A and B are shown apart, each in its own frame.
Chain A
């Protein structure tokens, strides 16, 4: 392709710009999840966890670490892209990209790159915090890294789609509050679903976050409520579906072209 080099430069420009955006305001982007997660570790893991004892044969503090890292990755990847895309739309500087010869697919990938890097940065930061409370065990490095990467991509895409549809600043908080947070809390961050009555175990299975948290927990601790391959299939399936939907919206110019 003739414009491969130009496209590579354009993509790099977007990713660098997106990364600088959250890095410059790290006090608002990277620090808060470190503080929140410290509180979770102290309260749930330390104070309450010491009374719970073990979950699936693992010390409760150690059990919740993977879920909490995942929770931080999910919310940060999501909110990075939704707020960046929405404010680009709101302040109209998305037009800088729209008038340029960048394929829509690369605009999407550029924003995803920003969300991914924010998710991973926060993921690493929270992991460092967790070391104060729990020794880092890595059962399977490849699974750990691939799951966190794919999950960050998935929620970056979801954030982008939210940003495309959002019309006001309130709209960018609706999905995180009413969908993301409940699904994460119910996604096996704090408990094994084997604790639930059978009916609720079945209901839980429709929650995609459950698969991600468990796959990640498998990577770190070697235990999981779910089949690993089903988890991968679900994550990748969602990524493909969301990407195609985002591309469709961008090509149509939904919310960005009059």
Chain B
């Protein structure tokens, strides 16, 4: 398989002293949906800036679909669509013009650029606002504008730096659907996010970066299986007025109607229900508590810092 992106010993030092990237190696296969995770200041945006040629690297190599940034810069640029973390359009330009002009910079004839701009602005629910100047859009609309702009030259690799920051839940979900469709069409997607739920929902592979180093690079599934314990929330049919203890289970009573339970992955839920039924506790519904990944993430960052 071809590599959509390969980073080799990529290093960035700001002002001769701040080591933002300490020689990272990373490969993303063509067609992948890849998450780059890390706490604030980890170096995600720096890496993306270098890949998109907005930041000069200090050392190392970047290959985009085999094109080395040092030798085939423009060929590499043609493959990339960038949605940066900070808004970087002209606030006083109308939405449609921003997207069409970006097509123009990529050498797409005006009519074709207009056609594509219409397609993507419609898909991203911005067509109605096409004549507004960008400044008059809401924060979430501005993010979607940057996505439409990044797609107008139909790049093979779409890189999004925190695309859903400041976007409400409903729009976020529709953005996820949109990105999945784009990915299914064969475009490789790399995104950074602070929402682990987002990475879990969308991505097949994941790398975790901290202090300029990759501390984990694996399948999403592999990462999740690292969790030995899962936490479930149980909604009860009848109020439970006192603490309940079941030998062999870790239970917490959250309130009269809610219990939380930690279950070892290999154990399964059957025994729990048998024991609960014996105690006369009826469970109405059960859901998975979603912060598992967050916990894991915190653990990994802490472990790597301790090491």
Which residues of A in the span 231-258 have a Cβ within 8 Å of any Cβ on B? 253, 257-258
Is A92 an interface residue, CB under 8 A from the partner?
A: yes
B104, A9: Cβ atoms closer than 8 Å: yes
Chain B: residues with Cβ within 8 Å of the partner, total of 32
A93, B104: Cβ atoms closer than 8 Å: no
Is A100 an interface residue, CB under 8 A from the partner?
A: yes
B101, A258: Cβ atoms closer than 8 Å: no
Which residues of A in the span 6-29 have a Cβ within 8 Å of any Cβ on B? 6-7, 9-10, 12-14, 17
Residue of A nearest to B78 (CB): A101
Known: A99-B52, A100-B102. A93 touches B107 (CB 8 A): no
A95, B88: Cβ atoms closer than 8 Å: yes
Is B86 an interface residue, CB under 8 A from the partner?
A: yes
B53, A99: Cβ atoms closer than 8 Å: yes
Complex Cα gap A71–B54 (Å): 37
Complex Cα gap A3–B75 (Å): 10
When the two chains form the complex, which single residue of A10, A88, A91 contacts B104, counting CB atoms closer than 8 Å?
Answer: A10
Complex Cα gap A60–B77 (Å): 57
A17, B101: Cβ atoms closer than 8 Å: yes
- When distances are taken between beta carbons in the complex, the residues of chain A under 8 Å from B110 are 9
Is B84 an interface residue, CB under 8 A from the partner?
A: yes
Is A170 an interface residue, CB under 8 A from the partner?
A: no
- When distances are taken between beta carbons in the complex, the residues of chain A under 8 Å from B55 are 257-258
Interface size range of chain A in the complex: 20 to 34
Complex Cα gap A103–B78 (Å): 12
- When distances are taken between beta carbons in the complex, the residues of chain A under 8 Å from B107 are 3, 5-7, 9-10, 101
Known: A257-B54, A257-B55, A258-B54. A95 touches B84 (CB 8 A): yes
B112 to chain A, nearest CB (A): 10
Complex Cα gap A93–B86 (Å): 11
When the two chains form the complex, which single residue of A7, A12, A91, A257 contacts B56, counting CB atoms closer than 8 Å?
Answer: A257
Which residues of B in the span 85-107 have a Cβ within 8 Å of any Cβ on A? 86-91, 98, 101-102, 104-107
A102, B14: Cβ atoms closer than 8 Å: no
Which residues of B in the span 140-175 have a Cβ within 8 Å of any Cβ on A? 149
Which residues of B in the span 244-288 have a Cβ within 8 Å of any Cβ on A? none
Known: A99-B54, A99-B80, A257-B56. A10 touches B90 (CB 8 A): no
Which residues of B in the span 102-123 have a Cβ within 8 Å of any Cβ on A? 102, 104-110
- When distances are taken between beta carbons in the complex, the residues of chain B under 8 Å from A10 are 104-107
Complex Cα gap A98–B149 (Å): 14
Is B82 an interface residue, CB under 8 A from the partner?
A: yes
Is B74 an interface residue, CB under 8 A from the partner?
A: yes
Among A12, A95, A253, the most chain B Cβ lie within 10 Å of the Cβ of A95
- When distances are taken between beta carbons in the complex, the residues of chain B under 8 Å from A257 are 53-56
B14, A258: Cβ atoms closer than 8 Å: yes
Is B49 an interface residue, CB under 8 A from the partner?
A: yes
- When distances are taken between beta carbons in the complex, the residues of chain B under 8 Å from A5 are 107
Complex Cα gap A17–B14 (Å): 34
Instruction: Flag A76-103 by CB within 8 Å of B: 1 or 0 each.
Output: 0000000000001001110111111111
When the two chains form the complex, which single residue of B56, B80, B82, B90 contacts A93, counting CB atoms closer than 8 Å?
Answer: B90
A97, B74: Cβ atoms closer than 8 Å: no
- When distances are taken between beta carbons in the complex, the residues of chain A under 8 Å from B102 are 96, 100
Which residues of A in the span 40-98 have a Cβ within 8 Å of any Cβ on B? 88, 91-93, 95-98
Residue of A nearest to B91 (CB): A91
Residue of B nearest to A5 (CB): B107
B68 to chain A, nearest CB (A): 15
B90, A100: Cβ atoms closer than 8 Å: no
A70 to chain B, nearest CB (A): 31
- When distances are taken between beta carbons in the complex, the residues of chain A under 8 Å from B104 are 9-10, 12-14
A16 to chain B, nearest CB (A): 8
Complex Cα gap A101–B90 (Å): 19
B54, A13: Cβ atoms closer than 8 Å: no
- When distances are taken between beta carbons in the complex, the residues of chain A under 8 Å from B78 are 101
Known: A91-B88, A93-B90, A95-B88. A100 touches B54 (CB 8 A): no
Among B14, B77, B80, B105, the most chain A Cβ lie within 10 Å of the Cβ of B105
Among A88, A92, A253, the most chain B Cβ lie within 10 Å of the Cβ of A92
Complex Cα gap A101–B84 (Å): 17
B89, A93: Cβ atoms closer than 8 Å: yes
A111 to chain B, nearest CB (A): 13
Listed by A's residue number, 25 A-B pairs whose Cβ atoms lie within 8 Å are A6-B106, A6-B108, A9-B107, A10-B105, A10-B107, A13-B104, A14-B104, A92-B86, A92-B88, A93-B88, A93-B90, A96-B88, A97-B105, A98-B54, A99-B52, A99-B53, A99-B54, A99-B77, A100-B77, A100-B106, A101-B74, A101-B106, A257-B53, A257-B54, A257-B56
> Across chains A and B, which 5 residue pairs bring their CB atoms closest together, nearest first?
A6-B107, A13-B104, A100-B105, A101-B74, A92-B88
Residues of B within 8 A of A (CB): 14, 49, 52-56, 73-75, 77-78, 80, 82, 84, 86-91, 98, 101-102, 104-110, 149
Residues of A within 8 A of B (CB): 3, 5-7, 9-10, 12-14, 17, 88, 91-93, 95-103, 253, 257-258
